[in-house]
């Protein structure tokens, strides 16, 4: 368990006031020699962090353990700085959307499935070839809290500009996007990223039809504004 380096505010005292923490650094904090280390450094980690950024630790921080401690320091400092308040007009609205997208890959092609089987696992390749033979079924969820905080999820690994643009278009105080949620339909690149190609944008890693990510984000934005208008009408 992580212990704060600042003795004036013991970690145990802070932990008693916090029931759970969500930590999502944009790296995969994995130590192959000790895979569970990060989970011991910070009490709670929900889901897999999104992103493969190369971490550049500060001077004097070396190795997975020191990096984990440095990251935990940041987590604890941020958590301590958060102030909670009861909203004047609490509300919660939510909606789930299901999509059936076309595929850029013919999953009935046995030769192609042999390639996928060698790249991943035969059982995994067979599972998604059966599931996506008639199209890629995706899911998204939209939640609006108190008319000012939106949470959107998608069943895949979305390029970061999808989330950036969603936040720009919501006009809310906060908007969070969560990938890998309720399924995994591999990568959802932006349209322009698809034109550039490369890892995560090529049909092999992103079989879903071009523009699928934008369609999900547009529907999520419609959900947010529909919920926001409904919230105003019911709380005013």
Identify the three-state secondary structure at position 105: coil
Task: Write the pLDDT tens digit of every residue in 52-91.
Answer: 566 677 888 887 778 777 877 888 888 888 888 888 889 9
Give the residue, 24 or 1, on which the prediction is more confident.
24
CA 27 and chain centroid, separation: 12
Mean pLDDT, residues 93-117: 90
Whose structure tokens read 């905080």?
149
Model pLDDT, residue 156? 93
Task: Write the pLDDT tens digit of every residue in 146-174.
Answer: 988 999 999 999 998 999 999 999 989 89
Q: Would the pLDDT of 111 be above 70?
A: yes
Model pLDDT, residue 42? 47
* 67-84: b (≥16 Cβ within 10 Å) or e: bbebbbeebbeebeeeee
Helix pair 122-131, 110-119: axis angle to 10 deg? 130
Average per-residue pLDDT for the chain: 79
Please return the burial class of 101, using the count of CB atoms within 10 Å of its CB with bins 0-12, 13-18 and 19+. buried
Closest to 18 in 3D by CA, of 28, 5, 9, 6? 9
Task: Write the pLDDT tens digit of every residue in 209-226.
Answer: 999 999 999 999 999 988
Q: Is the pTM of this model over 0.85?
A: no
Model pLDDT, residue 96? 95
Mean pLDDT, residues 106-121: 83
Please check whether residue 199 is in contact with residue 157, taking contact to mean a CB–CB distance below 8 angstroms.
Answer: no
Model pLDDT, residue 75? 81
Mean pLDDT, residues 128-147: 90
| Helix or strand (DSSP H, E) at 122 | helix 122-131
Give the residue, 79 or 41, on which the prediction is more confident.
79
Q: Would the pLDDT of 3 be above 60?
A: no
Mean pLDDT, residues 37-51: 48
Residue 34 phi/psi, 5-degree rounding, is -145, 75
């Amino acid at each position: 368990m992580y212990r704060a380096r600042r003795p004036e505010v013991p970690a145990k005292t802070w932990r008693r006031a916090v029931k759970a923490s969500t930590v999502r650094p944009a790296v995969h904090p994995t130590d192959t020699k000790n895979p569970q280390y990060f989970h011991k450094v910070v009490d709670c980690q929900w889901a897999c962090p999104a992103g493969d950024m190369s971490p550049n630790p500060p001077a004097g921080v070396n190795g997975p353990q020191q990096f984990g401690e440095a990251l935990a320091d940041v987590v604890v400092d941020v958590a301590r700085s958060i102030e909670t308040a009861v909203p004047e007009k609490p509300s919660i609205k939510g909606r789930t959307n299901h999509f059936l997208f076309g595929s850029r890959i013919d999953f009935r092609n046995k030769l192609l499935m042999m390639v996928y089987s060698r790249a991943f696992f035969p059982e995994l390749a067979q599972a998604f070839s059966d599931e996506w033979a008639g199209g890629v079924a995706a899911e998204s969820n939209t939640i609006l809290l108190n008319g000012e905080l939106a949470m959107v999820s998608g069943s895949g690994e979305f390029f970061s500009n999808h989330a950036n643009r969603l936040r720009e278009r919501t006009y809310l105080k906060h908007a969070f996007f969560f990938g890998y949620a309720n399924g995994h339909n591999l990568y959802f690149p932006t349209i322009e990223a698809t034109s550039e190609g490369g890892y995560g944008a090529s049909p092999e890693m992103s079989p879903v039809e071009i523009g699928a990510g934008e369609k999900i984000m547009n529907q999520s934005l419609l959900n947010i504004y529909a919920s926001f208008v409904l919230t105003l009408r019911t709380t005013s």
